Amino acid sequence: MRSDIVFDALQTKNRFVLCHEAFKAVRLLHKSNTRIEDTTNDALMRIAGAEQSLILRPDEVATPLETIHSSAI
């Protein structure tokens, strides 16, 4: 249901920011011959997925390539 998707997407955003980002995403993702409702659900799921990944791994930082090569030697 869309309410579950919206709740997941609202974990770190306020409602205004979520609506603004969803509007921009729907405009970019929408293809002709598809329902706008499906595009809206897809955009909200992508926003919720991005928020979930930020919540799960906030402190993860990429390791510099030099560190990887020097430890392998």
Confidence label for 70 from pLDDT (cuts 50, 70 and 90): low
Give, for 27, the enclosing helix (H) or strand (E).
helix 15-29
- Residue 39 to residues 2, 47, 66, Cα–Cα distance (Å): 12, 12, 42
pLDDT digits (tens, 9 = 90+) for 40-51: 888 888 888 776
Domain boundaries, the chain: 2-72
Q: Which amino acid is located at 15 in the chain?
A: R
The number of beta carbons lying within 10 Å of the beta carbon of residue 9 is: 22
CB 53, CB 35: distance < 8 Å: no
CB 24, CB 44: distance < 8 Å: no
Quick check: pTM over 0.85? no
